[in-house]
């Protein structure tokens, strides 16, 4: 028996032990990170709740003043108080987005599925965004979908996803541009609906296709960036789509616009 043969079992055992202890160490680190992440999420949720209440009071007081309930204001005073209301409203929207994200990422979130017409929801969201689009002289069109069967999904959450995608398309498309929504079907029997929200705006570089769906990520994260926000909109959209076992993705080319897609189950025809 050679020297190395006799040494082999002992060193292999040692290696095995080292590997085991490394694996245990890695598991401890993962557990630790998970529990810190859960703590951070809980903190985010609590702080957002606590911010919401005084903000609601500020907005209500400012509205009372603005509407002249405590005496008429002159136009300059009214404008100024109006600024408090709209600034407060914007802040509230951001807090709500954080709360929606926390909920969408938590285990307790559940879907309330019903049959509904996806084109009806798309048209509602288009209406809601009409004023914003008009300001930038953008058009929002729905290209097809009148003959689609109902989708079986959580209407509020699908509406939220559409609102986010259409809102982003408006935000990142320059004046005079175009936003459009279209549908296609896939799967063996066309049982899956693919919803597309597209624009001819500035587009997204291929390297950022994954990044845009990550929480708190913004392609331009500099303080001087032209578009501010929580960076949670697409992360929420992804969570809501995935709750429906759907997929969400983007295809784009810089300067040539973006096409966001997500899938939803179409309702099986009723007997």
Partner 1 sequence: MPYRILIVEDSPLVTDAFRVLFTEAGYEVDAAATVAEAIERGTAAPVDIMLLDLSLPDGNGLEILEALRARGSLPRSTLAMTGHADAKSRRSCIEAGCAEVLLKPVPIGELLRQIERQLA
Q: Do the beta carbons of residue 183 and residue 148 sit within 8 Å?
A: yes
Looking at the Cβ atoms of 158 and 179, the one nearer to partner 1 is 158
The nearest distance, CB 174 to partner 1, in angstroms, is 31
The nearest distance, CB 232 to partner 1, in angstroms, is 16
Q: Do the beta carbons of residue 158 and residue 121 sit within 8 Å?
A: yes
CA 197 to each of CA 55, 81, 129, 222, 266: distance values in angstroms, whole numbers, following the listed order: 33, 37, 14, 27, 18
The nearest distance, CB 228 to partner 1, in angstroms, is 22
Residues that bind partner 1 (CB under 8 A): 49, 52-57, 59-61, 63-64, 67, 69-70, 92, 99, 103, 110, 112, 154-156
Looking at the Cβ atoms of 28 and 49, the one nearer to partner 1 is 49
- With a CB cutoff of 8 Å and minimum separation 6, the contacts of 179 are 133, 138, 139, 140, 141, 166, 169, 170, 173, 197, 198, 199
The nearest distance, CB 66 to partner 1, in angstroms, is 9
Looking at the Cβ atoms of 34 and 103, the one nearer to partner 1 is 103
Q: Do the beta carbons of residue 202 and residue 172 sit within 8 Å?
A: yes
Written as six digits, the tokens of 163 are 């609102």
The nearest distance, CB 149 to partner 1, in angstroms, is 21
Looking at the Cβ atoms of 45 and 80, the one nearer to partner 1 is 45
Bridge partners, 115 (sequence order): 152
Looking at the Cβ atoms of 126 and 157, the one nearer to partner 1 is 157
- With a CB cutoff of 8 Å and minimum separation 6, the contacts of 52 are 92, 95, 96, 99
């Amino acid at each position: 028996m050679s020297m190395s043969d006799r040494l082999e079992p002992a060193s292999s055992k040692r290696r095995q032990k080292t590997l085991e202890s490394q694996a245990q160490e890695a598991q401890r680190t993962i557990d630790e990170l998970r529990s810190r992440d859960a703590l951070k999420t809980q903190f985010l949720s609590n702080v957002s709740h606590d911010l919401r209440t005084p903000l609601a009071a500020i907005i209500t007081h400012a509205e009372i003043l603005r509407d002249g309930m405590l005496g008429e204001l002159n136009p300059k005073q009214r404008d100024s108080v109006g600024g408090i209301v709209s600034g407060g409203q914007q802040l509230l929207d951001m807090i709500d987005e954080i709360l929606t994200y926390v909920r969408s990422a938590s285990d307790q979130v559940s879907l309330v599925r019903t049959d509904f017409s996806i084109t009806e929801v798309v048209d509602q969201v288009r209406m809601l965004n009409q004023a914003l689009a008009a300001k930038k002289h953008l058009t929002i069109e729905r290209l097809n979908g009148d003959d689609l069967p109902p989708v079986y999904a959580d209407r509020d959450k699908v509406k939220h996803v559409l609102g986010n995608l259409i809102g982003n398309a408006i935000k990142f498309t320059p004046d005079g541009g175009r936003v459009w929504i279209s549908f296609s079907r896939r799967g063996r029997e066309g049982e899956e609906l693919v919803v597309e929200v597209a624009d001819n705006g500035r587009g997204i570089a291929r390297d950022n296709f994954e990044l845009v769906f990550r929480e708190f990520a913004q392609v331009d994260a500099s303080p001087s960036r032209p578009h501010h926000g929580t960076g949670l909109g697409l992360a929420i959209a992804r969570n809501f789509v995935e709750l429906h076992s759907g997929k969400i993705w983007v295809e784009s080319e810089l300067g040539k616009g973006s096409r966001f897609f997500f899938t939803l189950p179409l309702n099986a025809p009723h007997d």
